[in-house]
Structure 1
């Protein structure tokens, strides 16, 4: 049985690791607020969310597959949460019976597996019950396939047969087995025989009747005989123990995968409801081929900032279709870094199959997302800030695939403008030649000016503008860079106040 709710042709890897730059992505893009809103106080969701969110999809058909399932989840939130809770309860019941796994002998394995399978059958019956009541409300191909699989694999007659089988392997009152005498006079080819022990009355239990046939009674103090008998019992039950243990593993894997895949959609529901509370806008994006270099949005905003402020915030409209690099310049505190984060977050959310914080969002999928943001000064004094920036850039380049997205925030500004501009320009040109999309927030005027002269066809320029009262308005417009870093802002703020 396969859920196939995250991928159309395979189950999700519940143990998938995080990308090597996961910590940098979370810190630079402010993902903590988003992941907390998605997971709430559920530790299971807190483990699932980063595994799925940070390991995005590269195929637009897979993204659309998830989007259709997520639409179903948003329209049937109660049912999806019930399915997720049911999978979690089944796994919790199994974990409470975990002790038997540590035993190697067949008898306790049979006993433990029988109990766990009985609990799993109850959970599967409840799962089928939910499906029978709610399947008609779902429209996505993923959920329809999932429900059809459950109906085909788990009809009521099959579940009844499983219960009958579990009753048959209850060997607490003994069992009948046959074996052949092999070489060295050792028993081999054990086979459990169908046997229904007689039902005794309470009187017969105290005074059992004589059993016809050859009977051997083990002396209570015969320890060697007891060990030999236990060994025979273990060998006779070994095949059944292996089959039952394998069945437990199979059903356990199904419920683990189901909880993992449904858990992601439950976390998406949590985030959607949180955004509904604060009146924030969302839409399902249009994922395009990674080679298209497409990027267009309307009213794109920083979802982390919106969650932190507890209200809807204004966004930006950008059309950078066909551009390999977006260069953002302009006033201090004008929304440049906020826009940069909104781009990175939206690319990750789109790649994971989520809605995005925008009225409209259409972009090429990113093979990977990387960030190169400013860091604090190295307090150990082992290297300068500029050396640290170059070392980090070198680490990114080593694993940077074509059609990735790289976000720069005031990078290479730790040296003078001329040197920083030259380094930034060489890196930007190499990235463009390598088909890597780039968003560059910078105050390096010479860098932006040379890009405008040498790579204008491949570059989209945005600028944070100022209002008439000299205050930033947090909106970006398509405009070239100005030969100023707006240092007068700091001068006026500091010296006017003093």
Structure 2
């Protein structure tokens, strides 16, 4: 391996003394964050408050199953704050969707996983010489994986700014004298160690180790001469070697004696391993290995849904045009659950354009209203992650935060009644929300009278409209749908032939004021007539 094989990275600064590319001078920061956006520290990003109400906690938990070693949740907990930063991720996600790009990245990740496995094994071993051998293997795997990734990315020519910048930096890194020397020395030491041959002489409890002197192996000749006298299958006296890596004290002593017979080689091994220890892994390579899993895990999660024909798209984001639109969108958590049960989620359209700011969703119970509200909130949040969202033709205003108010059980510790608790929570939301926020309200003020609930709801609606924030409001108060020309009425529908059957389609239409409670009562035999019949029996 030499520089002429690897070439010089585009944009790399070449040292005037050595003529080699300086990997550190190539502009690359992160595969997840552009220079304008913030980066969460490992383990320090807390789950946003809206996650539980929107089932985003379930989504992230499902996405990160099998990726625990990478600690990906902080990345999902930290939505982006800049449109260009979102596009930066969308470009990378599109590249990673390519099967060839994904394959080479997964191969690299497997190599890095092996390196970490070696580190863990070193921590469990007791003998220094064995630790050095395992460390040498780790260095060799690390160097080989890095070079293979660099060459593959160069051949595949990814289109995204992030992968192009990383590829250029990596090409300069693996072509640097430091890296080339590291890889070459590891290879040389492995080859020399593999060439060491020695003899072990065992005489009772005495074990002697000496250099190999060309002794021949006469096993084949002996078997040829005496094989003809064999009358039955011979007993197998071969010793089966263990398949675990730990050495016992006898093996360790033999290895010490082998080292004493080859002092120059083993002294060099000690010097090399002491100098490198675990410092040979470049922080940016390690960061790439972790950060790229964000894309792989998300895309792997949605792949089964895409195979079923559910649409996903990269939303067009804007910090200036206030609109929220997506066709055939759906609740990602519900879709995954129904997929596991062999069923398919129902899709719906959402749209707030022009001066429209609030979707007021009404209709029968168990008709999909809450799911629709969750879908809207999920879209607003997932769009800021830079990954494809559930739906097609999505265009979203860049929200700064997503606030939710879903019904909760009374908490005896705060000594507040349910209505007061609702009011306190809504007050806090309105105090923190901005014109760039998204608010999702689900069946609030259910603990008071219809008259009071209507009055309070109108007051809150007015505050949201004055704030100019986006909102989805699920309510049993149908009059709210016509509160303003900036509110849009959405209604969950039923089967025209059987009002007890929910279609889970939520469409734009004027609120009907019907809850279809009678059809449910008829379905379960709870009408007045049926109850009287039972009593009379």
Instruction: Calculate the TM-score normalised by the size of structure 1.
Output: 0.71
Equivalent residue runs for 1:320-469 within 5 Å: 320-322=352-354, 323-378=356-411, 382-449=415-482, 451-452=483-484, 456=485, 458-468=486-496, 469=498
Distance 1:359 1:157 in 2: 49
Which residue does the alignment assign to 2:168?
148
What is the CA-CA distance between 1:380 and the residue it aligns to?
6.7
Which residue does the alignment assign to 1:313?
345
Please give the per-residue CA displacement for 1:256-290, whole angstroms capped at 9, x wherever unaligned.
Answer: 4223311101112211323234443222222222x
Q: Does 1:475 align with 2:505?
A: yes
Contact 1:12 1:261 in 2 (8 A): no
Contact 2:315 2:388 in 1 (8 A): yes
Distance 1:334 1:91 in 2: 50
Distance 2:275 2:404 in 1: 49
Q: Does 1:4 align with 2:30?
A: yes
Tell me, what secondary structure is at the counterpart of 2:327? strand
Which residue does the alignment assign to 1:190?
none
Which residue does the alignment assign to 1:210?
none
Question: CA separation of 1:376/1:255 partners in 2, compared to 1, >3 Å: closer, same or farther?
Answer: same
Count of residues in correspondence between the two structures: 407
Distance 1:272 1:465 in 2: 28
Question: CA separation of 1:332/1:11 partners in 2, compared to 1, >3 Å: closer, same or farther?
Answer: closer
What is the CA-CA distance between 1:115 and the residue it aligns to?
9.0
Please give the per-residue CA displacement for 1:304-361, whole angstroms capped at 9, x wherever unaligned.
Answer: 2121111433311233113221111122222211111111122222110111111321
Please give the per-residue CA displacement for 1:410-440, whole angstroms capped at 9, x wherever unaligned.
Answer: 1122211221222222222222322321111
Which residue does the alignment assign to 2:19?
none
Question: CA separation of 1:363/1:389 partners in 2, compared to 1, >3 Å: closer, same or farther?
Answer: same
Question: CA separation of 1:427/1:339 partners in 2, compared to 1, >3 Å: closer, same or farther?
Answer: same
Q: Does 1:292 align with 2:321?
A: yes
What is the CA-CA distance between 1:369 and the residue it aligns to?
1.3
Question: CA separation of 1:492/1:369 partners in 2, compared to 1, >3 Å: closer, same or farther?
Answer: same
Which residue does the alignment assign to 2:40?
13
Distance 2:493 2:479 in 1: 19
Distance 1:403 1:37 in 2: 29
Question: CA separation of 1:252/1:141 partners in 2, compared to 1, >3 Å: closer, same or farther?
Answer: closer
Tell me, what secondary structure is at the counterpart of 1:292? coil
Gap regions ≥5 residues in structure 1: 101-107, 168-201, 203-239
Distance 1:33 1:371 in 2: 16
Distance 2:420 2:287 in 1: 44
Question: CA separation of 1:356/1:128 partners in 2, compared to 1, >3 Å: closer, same or farther?
Answer: same
Contact 1:4 1:12 in 2 (8 A): no
Distance 1:244 1:388 in 2: 62
Distance 1:20 1:166 in 2: 43
Q: Does 1:63 align with 2:86?
A: yes
Equivalent residue runs for 1:103-122 within 5 Å: 119-120=138-139, 122=141
Which residue does the alignment assign to 1:129?
148
Distance 1:447 1:351 in 2: 30
| Equivalent position to 1:41, from 62, 66, 79 | 66
Question: CA separation of 1:3/1:99 partners in 2, compared to 1, >3 Å: closer, same or farther?
Answer: farther
Question: CA separation of 1:415/1:5 partners in 2, compared to 1, >3 Å: closer, same or farther?
Answer: same
Please give the per-residue CA displacement for 1:136-177, whole angstroms capped at 9, x wherever unaligned.
Answer: 32222211111111111220643233468999xxxxxxxxxx
Question: CA separation of 1:166/1:259 partners in 2, compared to 1, >3 Å: closer, same or farther?
Answer: closer
Distance 2:41 2:286 in 1: 8
Question: CA separation of 1:134/1:165 partners in 2, compared to 1, >3 Å: closer, same or farther?
Answer: closer
| Equivalent position to 1:253, from 283, 302, 308 | 283
Distance 1:251 1:400 in 2: 44
Which residue does the alignment assign to 1:54?
77
Question: CA separation of 1:264/1:6 partners in 2, compared to 1, >3 Å: closer, same or farther?
Answer: same
Q: Does 1:80 align with 2:112?
A: no
Deviating more after overlay: 69-78 vs 133-142: 133-142
Please give the per-residue CA displacement for 1:92-128, whole angstroms capped at 9, x wherever unaligned.
Answer: 444555699xxxxxxx9xxx99996984574144212
Instruction: Calculate the TM-score normalised by the size of structure 2.
Output: 0.67
Contact 1:461 1:480 in 2 (8 A): yes
Tell me, what secondary structure is at the counterpart of 1:386? helix
Please give the per-residue CA displacement for 1:199-235, whole angstroms capped at 9, x wherever unaligned.
Answer: xxx9xxxxxxxxxxxxxxxxxxxxxxxxxxxxxxxxx
Distance 1:164 1:466 in 2: 71
Distance 2:104 2:159 in 1: 14
Between the two structures, name the one with larger relative contact order (CA 8 Å, sep ≥ 6): 1
Question: CA separation of 1:313/1:428 partners in 2, compared to 1, >3 Å: closer, same or farther?
Answer: same
Distance 1:433 1:114 in 2: 69
What is the CA-CA distance between 1:248 and the residue it aligns to?
5.6
Gap regions ≥5 residues in structure 2: 1-23, 188-210, 212-270, 532-537
